[in-house]
Structure 1
Amino acid sequence: MTITELETSRVSAAKQALQAAVEHLRGLQSDRGWWKGELETNVTMDAEDLLLREFLGIRTASETEEAARWIRSQQRSDGTWANFFGGPGDLSTTAEAWIALRLAGDSPHEPHMAKAAEFVVSNGGLEHSRVFTRIWLALFGLWSWDDLPTLPPEMIFLPSWFPLNPYDFACWARQTIVPLTIVGTLRPCRPVPFGVAELLSGSPRPRLDAPWTWAGAFQRLDKVLYAYGKLPVHPGRTLAMRKAAEWIVARQEADGSWGGIQPPWVYSLLALHLLGYSLDHPVVKAGLKGLDGFIIREDTPDGVVRRLEACQSPVWDTALALTGMLDAGVAADDPAVVRAADWLLGEEIDIRGDWAVKRPKLAPGGWAFEFANDLYPDTDDTSEIVLALRRIAHPDRDRLDAAVRRGVDWLAGMQSKDGGWGAFDADNTREVPRKLPFCDFGEVIDPPSADVTAHIVEMFGALGRGSDEVCRRGVRWLVDAQEPDGSWFGRWGSNYVYGTGAAVPALISAGVSPSASAIRRAVRWLEEHQNPDGGWGEDMRSYKDRSLAGRGDSTASQTAWALMALLAADERTSTVDRGVDWLCATQLDSGTWDEPQFTGTGFPGDFYINYHLYRIVFPLSALGRYVSRGSS
């Protein structure tokens, strides 16, 4: 074939792939207009769900059997459970799965249990598990509360300017920590009829760090707080717990959740229960009922399995699906497109949330991540929704434009002082919370990130406002945040491929020339990290091992991210051609792509997500933009 014939054939293949993908995506849309793919995480969700129900006295045999069946199905041949597909066994996740299976009646002598215990012990035992794992153990008398870090409920009194006040923590962390101050103060114990000797290594406690280090200073402060907790009188403690309870109740969402995510949800229920809220209390009752909406039950050859989603992403998924459909050439007034836009317009948030603590004069606007998440709109969702809505031929254009305007104004007001954007809060950058002994799992602050900042910069550029000072500050932040090798770190997706795939289109949208140094360095990095098969992939371990940056099995979503960056930079090379060929060749007959790999991130280095719609919405955008460029 000639070069022209090859290009024509490739464009034709891409169009066929787009048609099949669009039809598949249409079939996934709700009658109400939204899309929602499963949000897959790891079995700690299911283990902790059983433990919560055990503690509350509501665990049933059928729930236990179905959840245990799911947990067993996720165990690997080496006896471990991982935090993401293909990842290494995780000590704490394996320990929690083992404990949940003991609740379900599995004997510690069964081979699968013995192998799990062997792994835990060989990796330091429960003594080296994360704090949250040991809190669950302490609830059942399997660990001493004396050996856990202390957080006093009196922190609820601290003003927002004082170090270690609740608003120094990211929204997901503050909503978890406030109820845990109650749980840790009351120190409940409801014993279970088994022990965990099989998971103990007998290793000594680690020595304290040097007192002049942050870690050492907080370790010693923890001992002071522990001593305070042992005093017979604690002025203000009862008032603190009552105020903390009021704070918790005020933040319950309409669906009964807290933040729409598992950690603050379960700990809020525990805290309120311990303070005397009955299971029939409207707040607790709504919380438990809401959890049922996050349960997925599925028939398998071995029987029904039951698993719990850590959160749900309908608003985010719908925005990305809309953009993918429009990029694929679906008409802007297509009924499915308009129906999705109607649903999104109905999800606009018009009330104040915790974000207003730092931005008290800013009018509400924007969108959140979930069905009921009104107290925590986020900048990432809002920017992606604006990018989609602006392209839709909606019959009520005035309504749409007004919602977009409010969202854009809110985003401008949420810019941090340094020019970047965090996901949920502005200027949530104080480093002190990271140093607490309590915070050994997951990110606990919400500083600006390259991917979020990029999406917002791209939005301003798409609206023709690339010269606005708010956008120019974002561009400068992005340029300064570029890694020495030309990539960008991805906070909410894996990882450097995600960050780079977001930053390049953003800079181009804001008016940066494709020939600019930042763009050329990014293109070179993407070219150097293309896999031999033509795709791109990045293992989640790149968050801890920089040598894995941009390295991993090719996936549809990550290949699409790389292609969107290269297409934005107007690259017309074999690198792009090979990436398009890979997507076309790996598409399933159903129109989607197979992607067991996790490419979404909750906490870098600790908690990962497989968004089940990523495998289709991003390839739609990449192939659609490729075809559109070829026909322009």
Structure 2
Amino acid sequence: MTTTADDAAREKSPLPAGETGISFARPPSDGTEEAARRAVLRATDHLLARQHTGGWWEENFGTDVSYDAHDLFLRHLLGVLDERVAVASGRWIRSQRSADGSWPLVFDGAGHLGTTVQAYVALRLAGHRPDEEHMLRSAARVRELGGVAAAPLEARMWLAMLGLWSWDDLPEVPPEIIALPKWAPLNIYSFGFVMRQALVSLSIISAHRFVRPVPFGIDELSAPSDGTDAALRTPAPVFGWEGLFRRANTALRAYRRVTPRPVRRTATRAGARWLVERQETDGSFGACTPITTWVVIALHLQGYSTDHPVLQAAFGFLDDCASWPADGVRKLQTVHGPVWDTCLSVTALRDAGLPAGHPALVKATDWLLTRQTDRPGDWAVRRPRLAPGGWSFQFHNQNYPDLDDTSEVVLALLRVDHPEPARVDGAVRRAARWCLGMQSANGGWGAFDADNTSSLPSKLPFFDFGEYCADQPTADVTAHVVEMLAALGMERDPATRRAVRRLLGQQEDSGAWSGRWGVNHVFGTGSVLQALAAAGTPGDHPAVRRAVAWLTSVQNEDGGWGEDWESYADPEHLGRGSSTPSQTAWALLGLLAAGEHDSDAVRAGVRRLTDRQTDAGTWEEPQFTGVLVPRAVACRYGYYRHVFPLMALARYAHRPGPEDVR
């Protein structure tokens, strides 16, 4: 894969003549500031032109090709695979292949075994022969990476359903887990929301041991030691979590053989009911394609035919998430993210100086107000008396609002002059009350739940996601909520002060903070510095100084910042990587919040962004700087390259004068 970005600095066209109403309080101090102002005006015009007529902004949300493969697997398993869809999806999957024959998790990343195995099998379903040159190379790369037996659990689950792996070599996922009370360890609500819906679905699929064989084998993907899961064939360790759960898995297999059929049938029916109750109005489950795919299979095994309204609606969502970027090419979007894209766009435009009452901002506010959740979701299990009021990432997701979207939406709404202020104020009050009620006992905020901090789910063999099976409070989400509370004048509120203490306690020895939902320490550190400044932490605070020193120390020679996805697994990559527009902007936003406007580091970062702005007014960024599950699922937010550079340059260009300094 290659980038289309032009890394060479080039002369910019004259300032746009748009009627945005943006003005600057004083003349530019030098050429760097003048270039920043020109870039802000171009980026503003670019972003305004991209607003949907309905008021929102949205661009493609991309991940690796695993989910494109899952879509083909699903359609085969249900007997509805259309040749046109298979061939077109195969073209997309093949186009994302690296030169060595593998498929990575991220742009220009190392080959990932699980993704490569699934992509290869999907191409076989799409009609590619194993003796074709590109397939031979991919099969060889799978063997080099360890073969099918070394692939992550998710890949082998799919292979088992396709008749290419034995269910006996997979961990048991008992459907009776649905009956565990909410206070019991390892009940379904001790998992994060994505893992929760996947767990219930997998428990049903595992109970049925569903197989619909494909008309081919994959012996060519087997390394010499393949054939069984060696880890399950060796004796379980006497001590430790691995040994405990290995022995539990053996017991569950024995339990499977003696479980009365009525008990198992009751459990799978209860799981199916639980899933159906969480279908969104757009037909999705979890408002994303991977979870919808798992749920559709589980419900089909429970007797839901492909023409049942529940499955018809689900397929409608999956089809809606498919795009055809070229003739005969089909790719699947993992999730729609208009709420996130819209609130960040509003904030970026207000940073740029767009008047608060501009029609585009009012229209965006009108749309955002229609997206606020008005009924309890799974979060209410831990907060049953808390009234709803959050926002979700997607068009339709009443069950799983999140603290990140909610805080950023409020920050955007507070900066718009809307003709119905009482309507906006009511929505903001509901959101603030919900956020305060979702604070965890340790002072921080997770993304979807409060106090979802059990370490037990990470020990189970059901997933390969480690500590990310739960929804631990994180520095980045906590920082965004703190920033929101400060904007509401609550910087001295006990909840805010407790959260600030939590953030200060999470700072790493290097001076950085890790990022859960953006890659990685550059994102976390930039987010926390903005929150600390908003909450009144002085710029000379030792924690702020240490963070500034760290950001400055990892700045690239070209003036930008970047951090490789591998930093989640290898500390050598922390803060290190090729410069990207979004990560450069994150670092600049943090440094500007810390009072570093006139530093050499900030000026170099600003020049990096202004030099790399395209003539269209945006930036090119093929890299994946977003995260769904660290070390497992990366993502590319299409709008990050638009909004964050605009925010950073705007906050630099609107230089604070002496009268603005507190």
TMscore range, shorter length:
over 0.9
Q: CA deviation at 1:6?
A: 8.7
Q: Which runs of 5+ in 1 are unaligned?
A: none
Deviation of 1:462 after TM superposition, in Å, equals: 1.6
Contact 2:352-2:646 within 8 A present in 1 as well: yes
**Alignment correspondent of 1:133:** 155
Q: CA deviation at 1:123?
A: 1.7
C-alpha offsets along residues 282-333 of structure 1, whole Å, 9 cap, x if unaligned?
Answer: 111100111111111111xxx4311111111110110100000000111100
Could you tell me which residue of structure 1 aligns to residue 572 of structure 2? 547
Corresponding residue to 2:268 among 231, 236, 241: 241
Among 339, 345, 348, the residue aligned to 2:372: 348
Q: Which residue number corresponds to residue 29 of structure 1?
A: 51
| Correspondence for 1:464 | 489
Q: Corresponding residue for 2:353?
A: 329
Counterparts of 1:122-521 in structure 2 under 5 Å? 122-203=144-225, 205-206=230-231, 207-231=234-258, 233-234=260-261, 236-299=263-326, 303-441=327-465, 443-521=468-546
* 1:9-48 aligned within 5 A: 9-48=31-70
Please tell me whether the aligned partners of residues 211 and 220 of structure 1 are also in contact (alpha carbons under 8 angstroms).
no
Give the Cα separation in 2 of the matches to 1:176 and 1:265. Answer: 9
Query: Of residues 580, 595, 603 in structure 2, which corresponds to 1:570?
Result: 595
Alpha-carbon distance, 1:233 to partner:
2.5
2:119 paired residue number:
97
Structure 2 distance, partners of 1:263, 1:5, is 51
For the 8 Å contact 2:180–2:187, the answer to whether it is kept is yes
Deviation sequence 1:97-137 (CA, Å, 0-9, x none)? 11011111111111111111111112211101111111111
CA deviations 1:527-561 (Å, max 9, x no partner) are: 00110000000010000011111111111100110
| Residue 8 (str. 1) matches residue 8 (str. 2) | no
Instruction: Provide the rounded CA distance (Å) in 1 between the counterparts of 2:339 and 2:541.
Output: 34
Per-residue displacement from partner, 1:562-620 (whole Å, max 9, x unpaired)? 00011101112111100100100000011110101110001011110110100010011
Give the match's secondary structure for 2:655.
helix
Residue-by-residue CA offset, 1:183-211 (whole Å, 9 max, x unaligned): 00001111111001011114261335523
Q: Is the 8 A contact 1:35 1:318 kept in 2?
A: yes
**TM-score (norm. length: structure 2):** 0.93
SS in 2 for 1:610: strand
How many pairs were matched up? Answer: 626
Match of 1:230, SS? helix
CA distance in 2, matches of 1:586, 1:535: 10
Q: What is the distance in 1 between the residues matched to 2:538 and 2:225?
A: 58
The one-letter amino acid of 2:652's match is Y
Please list the CA deviations of residues 155-183 of structure 1 after superposition, one character each: whole Å capped at 9, or x if unmatched: 11111110110000000100111011000
- Looking at structure 1, the residues matched to 655 and 198 of structure 2 have their Cα atoms a distance apart, in angstroms, of 47
**Other structure's SS at 1:629 match:** coil
Is 2:174–2:252's contact at 8 Å kept on the other side of the alignment? yes
Out of 602, 605, 614, the position equivalent to 2:631 is 605
Given that 1:20 and 1:591 are in contact with CA atoms closer than 8 Å, whether structure 2 keeps it comes out as: yes
For 2:518, what is the secondary structure of its paired residue? coil
Q: Does 1:528 align with 2:550?
A: no
SS at match of 1:307: strand
The separation in 2 between residues aligned to 1:577 and 1:259, in whole angstroms, is 42
1:71 lines up with 2:98 in the alignment = no
DSSP-derived class of the 1:236 partner? helix
For 2:126, the aligned partner's letter is A
Q: Secondary structure at the match of 1:298?
A: strand
Q: Out of 80, 83, 94, which is 2:105 matched to?
A: 83
Q: Please give the alpha-carbon distance, in whole angstroms, between the structure 1 residues aligned to 2:417 and 2:648.
A: 22
Matches of 1:211 and 1:42, distance apart in 2: 38
Is the alpha carbon distance of 1:347 and 1:232 closer, same or farther for their aligned partners in structure 2, counting shifts above 3 Å? Answer: closer
The root-mean-square deviation of aligned C-alpha atoms, in Å, is: 1.3
> Over residues 249-304 of structure 1, what are the superposed CA-to-partner deviations in whole Å (9 max), with x where a residue is unaligned?
000011111111223211110011011111111111100111111111111xxx43
Q: Is the 8 A contact 2:487 2:534 kept in 1?
A: yes
Q: Is the 8 A contact 2:280 2:397 kept in 1?
A: yes
Q: State how far apart, in whole Å, the 2-side matches of 1:198 and 1:629 are.
A: 62
Contact 1:130 1:441 in 2 (8 A): no
Tell me if structure 2 keeps the 8 A contact 1:83–1:608: yes
Matched to 1:607, the amino acid is V
SS in 1 for 2:552: helix
1:331-382: CA deviation from partner (whole Å, max 9, x where unpaired): 1000001000000001111100000000001111010110011110000000
Note the C-alpha offset of 1:7. Answer: 3.7
SS of the residue 2:197 aligns to: helix
Residues 61-103 of structure 1 show CA distances to partners (whole Å, capped at 9, x for unaligned) of: 1111110110111111100100001110000100001101111
Cα displacement (A) at 1:28? 1.3
Q: Residues 11 and 630 of structure 1 are in contact (CA less than 8 Å); yes or no, is this contact kept in structure 2? A: no
CA distance in 2, matches of 1:374, 1:298: 30
Offset at residue 441 of structure 1 (A)? 3.8
2:82 match: 60
Mapped partners of 2:318, 2:289: distance in 1: 9
What is the identity, as a one-letter code, of the residue corresponding to 1:399? R
Name the SS for the 2:260 alignment partner: coil
| Equivalent in the alignment of 1:617 | 643
> Secondary structure of the residue that 2:590 maps to in structure 1?
helix
SS of the residue 2:30 aligns to: helix
Partner of 1:586: 612
**Counterparts of 2:27 and 2:287, CA distance in 1:** 51
Letter in 1 for 2:56: W
User: Matches of 2:126 and 2:328 in 1, distance apart?
Assistant: 15
- With over 3 angstroms needed to count, the CA separation of the structure-2 counterparts of 1:119 and 1:435, relative to structure 1, is same
Matches of 1:496 and 1:483 in 2, distance apart? 10
Runs of 4+ residues deviating >4 angstroms: none
Distance in 2 between residues matched to 1:436 and 1:232, nearest whole Å: 21
**Could you tell me which amino acid in structure 1 is paired with residue 584 of structure 2?**
T
Cα contact 1:84–1:608 (8 A) shared by 2 = yes
